[in-house]
Structures are given as structure tokens and as C-alpha cells.
Amino acid sequence: MKTLIIIRHAKAEESHGEADSKRKLTEKGLHDAGLMAKRLLDKGYRINEIFSSPAVRTKETTAIFAKVFQVEEEDIKYFDHLYLGDTLQITEAVNWLQKNIDTLAVVGHNPGVTNFVTDITGSDIDSLPTSGIAVIKIDCDDWQQFNEAEKTLAEVFSPKS
């Protein structure tokens, strides 16, 4: 059994004419990302590797989760196609995984992360909020079996709950 943790980036500042990918986290976003990372850790989850969009807000969210879960820099990968990526792009990133680890986290954007969760699990979540987390259990022994394996939505966490 493998675990895939889908994380929507934390609350970002409004765009003031700069490129969308350059938006930074707000103070609330920084707070919520730390809160959610600790909540996930307190629930007994571990993260071995993180895949992330290269946008500033996802990089900042990734850094907070990496610190809480003590994920080393060499175990963090940034994929351009995760920036506003959809189900196909997120699946491609997961399929890229070269190591046979227990838990992979993917940090991305809506609507892609919500669509990915609902598409692969058949669940019916409205929208993963900023700093929201979806934990998916993958019934396989190796990540190379990801596409064919049964996937179950185990838990959803929100900073509002």
C-alpha cells in the first residue's frame, strides 16, 4: 500500500500586475500551511518525497511541509507541468517517480488538484481549499503500478475544520 498526499498551495497574495506564478503566500497562508503540515504529522503521516509546481506560492508551501516532515532538498522535485496542471499532468508526475518510497506528496493548484482527486478516486469533493490536503491510499506495492491500482480517498483536511 502506498500513500499519495495531494496538497493545494496555501493562500497567496492578490496579483498586482506581476505574473501569476510570482505570487507569494500571505501571512495567513504561511500560518495555515504550517498548521496543516503539523496536523498531518500529528495524524501519523510521513512524507518521503515532494513533487511541486515551480510557482512561488507552491514552492513556499512545499518548503513549509519539507521542514515539518524533514524532507531533504534532493527529495523535492519541481515540474513545470504541475503549474496549473490537470489530472493528466499530475498523473505524469506521479509516473515519473523513480524511487519505491511509501509516501509521495504533490503540491499544486486548483482546479487541477481537486479534479485529480475526484477523477482517480471517484470521490465527490467540491473543492480542495487553499492549504487543503487529500490523502489517497494506493493499493499497490510499487509506484510503477499506480495507473492500474485501486485508489481510495482516505481523508481530507481543511484549515477551516
Secondary structure string (H, E, C) spanning 32-63: HHHHHHHHHHHCCCCCCEEEECCCHHHHHHHH
Predicted confidence (pLDDT) at residue 15 exceeds the cutoff of 90? no
Over residues 67-83, the pLDDT tens digits come to: 999 999 999 999 999 99
Q: Are strands 76-78 and 103-108 parallel, antiparallel or unpaired?
A: unpaired
pLDDT band at 41 (very low <50, low <70, confident <90, very high): very high
Percent pLDDT > 70 in the chain is: 99
Query: DSSP class of residue 73?
Result: G
Q: What is the mean pLDDT of residues 23-46?
A: 97
Query: Is 41 in a helix, a strand, or coil?
Result: helix
pLDDT band at 16 (very low <50, low <70, confident <90, very high): confident
CATH class of 2-11+20-157: alpha beta
Mean pLDDT for the chain?
A: 95
Q: pTM score > 0.85 for this model?
A: yes
Predicted confidence (pLDDT) at residue 17 exceeds the cutoff of 90? no
Predicted confidence (pLDDT) at residue 101 exceeds the cutoff of 80? yes
pLDDT of residue 18: 83
Sequence spans of domains, the chain: 2-11+20-157
Distance CA 91, CA 112 (A): 11
Predicted confidence (pLDDT) at residue 128 exceeds the cutoff of 80? yes
Distance CA 79, CA 93 (A): 7
Query: Is 8 in a helix, a strand, or coil?
Result: strand
Sign of the four-CA dihedral 118, 116, 38, 102:
positive
pLDDT of residue 136: 98
pLDDT of residue 160: 84
State how far Cα 85 lies from the chain centre: 12
Distance CA 148, CA 114 (A): 20
Q: What is the mean pLDDT of residues 123-137?
A: 95
Q: What is the mean pLDDT of residues 104-133?
A: 96
